[in-house]
Amino acid sequence: MSPWRLSVAPMLDWTDRHCRYFHRQISRHSRLYTEMVTTGALLHGDQHRHLDFNTEEHPVALQLGGSDPADLAACAKLAEQWGYDEVNLNCGCPSERVQRGAFGACLMAESSLVADGVKAMLDAVSIPVTVKHRIGIDQIESYDFVRDFVGTLAQAGCQVFIVHARNAWLKGLSPKENRDIPPLRYEFVHRLKRDFPALTIVVNGGVVGDDAIAEQLQHVDGVMVGREAYHNPWSMAAWDTRFLGADANPHDSREAVESAMVEYLGRQAESQGLPWAHGARHMLGLYNGLPGARTWRRVWSDHHLKALPASQVHAIAHRREVAA
Ligand X SMILES: Cc1cc2nc3c(=O)[nH]c(=O)nc-3n(C[C@H](O)[C@H](O)[C@H](O)COP(=O)(O)O)c2cc1C
Q: Report whether 206 contacts 216 (CB < 8 A).
A: no
Q: How far is CA 187 from the centre of its chain?
A: 22
Residue showing the smallest CB distance to ligand X in the complex: 226
Q: How far is Cα 235 from Cα 231, in angstroms, rounded to an integer?
A: 9
Q: How far is Cα 220 from Cα 200, in angstroms, rounded to an integer?
A: 8
Single out the residue of 7, 27, 63, 111 in contact with ligand X (rule: CB under 6 A).
63
Sequence-distant (6+) residues with CB within 8 A of 95 are: 104, 175
The one segment of 111-119, 190-198, 223-231, 259-267 that binds ligand X by CB under 6 A: 223-231
297 binds ligand X (CB under 6 A): no
75 binds ligand X (CB under 6 A): no
- Contact mark string toward ligand X, 14..43, x via CB under 6 A: x--------------------xx-------
Q: Cis link prior to 59 (omega < 30° from 0)?
A: yes
Single out the residue of 92, 136, 182, 279 in contact with ligand X (rule: CB under 6 A).
92
Q: How far is Cα 306 from Cα 36, in angstroms, rounded to an integer?
A: 29
Residues 124-143 that bind ligand X (CB under 6 A): 132
Q: How far is the CB of 297 from ligand X (least distance, A)?
A: 18
Q: Report whether 64 contacts 107 (CB < 8 A).
A: no
Residues in the chain: 324
Single out the residue of 179, 190, 193, 254 in contact with ligand X (rule: CB under 6 A).
179
- The residue ranges that bind ligand X (CB under 6 A) are 9-14, 35-36, 63, 90, 92-93, 132, 164, 179, 204-207, 225-228
Q: Which residues make up each annotated binding site for FMN?
A: 10-12, 63, 132, 164, 204-206, 226-227
